[in-house]
Amino acid sequence: MERLQKVLAHAGVASRRKCEEFIINGRVKVNGQVVLDLGTKVDPQQDRIEVDGTPIHSEKMAYYLFYKPTGVITSVTDTHGRKVVTDFFQEIPERIYPVGRLDNDTSGLLIMTNDGDLAYRLMHPSFTIDKIYLATVEGIPSSQKLKQLEKGVLLEDGWTSPAVAEIVEKRSQPTESVIRLTIHEGRKRQVRRMCQHIGHTVKKLHREKYGFLTLKGLKKGEYRELSSEEVTRLKEMVTQRSQL
C-alpha cells in the first residue's frame, strides 16, 4: 500500500505536490469515491484510481536532460499560447514535466521526468542540490559584493543560503562581467534578485550545471535521455541527504 499522491505522481499525472492539490480539490476518486485525505493509502494493482474521471495507468519512468532556450515557458501548458518545454518532447509517449523552473528569459539545464517522487526530492530545499549559473551582469562587482552573495543576502522572502560566487569574465564595452554563482535553493528569480541586491542587474542568465549533470553535447532545444547510472546517482544523492 502506498500514499495516493505518490501513486499518482509515479503514474505521471503530475508532481507529487501538484497531485496533493488534485486530492484536496476533490479531483481524485478511488473505487468510485472522492478522496480528500492526503493520508489515504491505496493498492495501485487493485484499486481503481481516477483523476477528473480518467483512470490512471502506471507508465514507464522517463528521465531526460533538456537544454532550455530563452523564450520558452517552464510549464506543460500555457493559456497564452506561448511555447512551453513539453513542446520539444512531442515524440515522447510518457507525460513528463519539468523539475523546478527556469524563467522565460533564462536558458540552460532542466530535468524532465514523470517520476514525481524524485522530482519532489530534487526540488525540496532540504536536499541542497547545487545548481550553477552564469550571470552576465551590468558592471563589475567588487570582491566585497561577491562576499555578500557568498554569505547570503536579505531578500523580501528571507535570507539566502551561503553561495559560491566568482567573476569568470570582465568586459569593457559595455562594462559588464560574467559571474559564476553556485546555489542550492530554487526561489523565484533568485539569482536575478541576488545580483540586483548588490547593485548589478542581470542582463543574461544561464544554468550550466545541476548537481553533477551538465549540458555537454547538447545544443539549445535539444535533449537526451538520462542513463540508468545517472538516474541512480540522482536518487542516491537525495536519499543520502534525507538520512543526514
Active site residue 103: yes
Same domain, 172 and 199: yes
Question: What total of structural domains would you count in the chain?
Answer: 3
Could you write out the DSSP letters of every residue in 99-129? SS---TTEEEEEEEES-HHHHHHHHSGGG--
* pLDDT digits 0-9 by tens, 14-73: 878 889 999 999 999 999 999 999 999 998 878 999 999 988 876 788 999 999 999 999
Residue 88 has pLDDT above 90, yes or no: yes
- Domain that residue 179 falls in: 130-210
What CATH number corresponds to the domain at position 118?
3.30.70.580
- Tell me the mean pLDDT in the region 217-231: 97
Same domain, 115 and 141: no
Q: Write down the pLDDT at residue 125.
A: 75
What CATH number corresponds to the domain at position 180?
3.30.70.1560
Hey, what's the cell of 160? Answer: 539566502
Per the residue annotation, which of 103, 115, 117, 130 is the catalytic one? 103
Return the higher-pLDDT residue of 106 and 59. Answer: 106
